[in-house]
Amino acid sequence: MRGSGRTYWRLLVAGFRRGSTYRLAALGGLVANATFGLLKVAVLLATVEAAGGELAGYDAARMSAYIWLSQGLLGSVNLFGRTDVAERIKTGDIAVDFLRPLDVQAATITTAVGQALFALLPRGVPSVVLGALVVGMATPDHPASYALGALSVLLGIVLSWATVYVVATAGFWLVDARGLQVLYMVVSGFLAGLFVPIWLFPSWLVALAQATPFPSMLMYPVDVLSGRVEGLGALAMVAAQVGWLALVLLAGHLLTRAGRVRLEVQGG
């Protein structure tokens, strides 16, 4: 559809501009990211040193790259489970979305991604710059890693919001989906490799993590962008991301269709 691209572009821009209205929140987020980044530096670099300078393929510079890239993406990749659409389903405001000639799932994710992309400016970039200046970090050997890394980051961001959307659709069946959101928050950060790289996990836990979409949200983008994984390995990670995204989008689509029929729009 011809008009469709323009519509979703507008929604992306709207989300981006929406993000820009919360400058103080972005600054607060950056401070929190940086603080926890320095904490991770202290713990993880000491661990690498204790392991004899290398741990599961990470030397100090690679570990630093992992820390600052993952901290920088934290403002954009949704590992908290919270999202506007969950609230809109709960209050019934979602009805307004259904009154538009739009795919509600696509419109919701597009707007959220717009806001997430904005967050790269006040939270992502400064975080990486800080890490590079204060600690120093490894950079990719091949220029292609930057392009593939950017794609991987974008996929990770979209995947996280698409997954959170799926969690939110539970609200069509449950009056309050907050329990699920908390569960998502607890599980996603851990399995996405937010606290430590998943490659430090025992192999069974790595396998478990890889059976979920979470590493595709953060671990893979960080690995590809930092150049820790290159060539075919990097392509395989991006392919896994695409696969998970397709699966999650399909699930969201089906749940939206089923949920809409159940919608009772409480109140007014």
CB of 161 to other proteins, least distance (A): 17
The CA distance from 19 to 115, in Å, is: 5
Does 175 bind other proteins (CB under 8 A)? Our answer is no
Q: Say if CB 194 and CB 218 are below 8 A apart.
A: yes
Give 265's DSSP letter. -
The Cβ-side half-sphere exposure at 186, using a 13 Å CA radius, reads: 6
* 178-192 helix and 144-169 helix, angle to the nearest 10 degrees: 160
CB of 4 to other proteins, least distance (A): 8
Does 27 bind other proteins (CB under 8 A)? Our answer is no
Q: Which is nearer to other proteins, 202 or 268 (CB)?
A: 268
Among 24, 50, 52, 101, indicate the residue that binds other proteins (CB under 8 A): 101
Does 268 bind other proteins (CB under 8 A)? Our answer is yes
Does 56 bind other proteins (CB under 8 A)? Our answer is no
Alpha-helix runs per DSSP H in 103-143: 104-119, 125-134
Does 90 bind other proteins (CB under 8 A)? Our answer is no
Give 207-250 as a DSSP string: HHHHTSSHHHHTHHHHHHHHTSS-HHHHHHHHHHHHHHHHHHHH
Compute the chain's Rg from CA coordinates: 19
Q: Which is nearer to other proteins, 15 or 156 (CB)?
A: 15
Contacts for 1-8 with beta carbons within 8 Å, 24 or more apart?
Answer: 7/102, 8/106, 8/107, 8/110
Does 24 bind other proteins (CB under 8 A)? Our answer is no
Does 9 bind other proteins (CB under 8 A)? Our answer is yes
Among 98, 178, 208, 243, indicate the residue that binds other proteins (CB under 8 A): 98
Does 92 bind other proteins (CB under 8 A)? Our answer is yes
Does 1 bind other proteins (CB under 8 A)? Our answer is yes
Does 47 bind other proteins (CB under 8 A)? Our answer is no
Does 21 bind other proteins (CB under 8 A)? Our answer is yes
Give 135's DSSP letter. T
Where do contacts with other proteins occur on this chain (CB under 8 A)? Answer: 1-3, 6-7, 9-11, 14, 17-18, 21-22, 92-93, 95-96, 98-102, 261, 263-265, 267-268
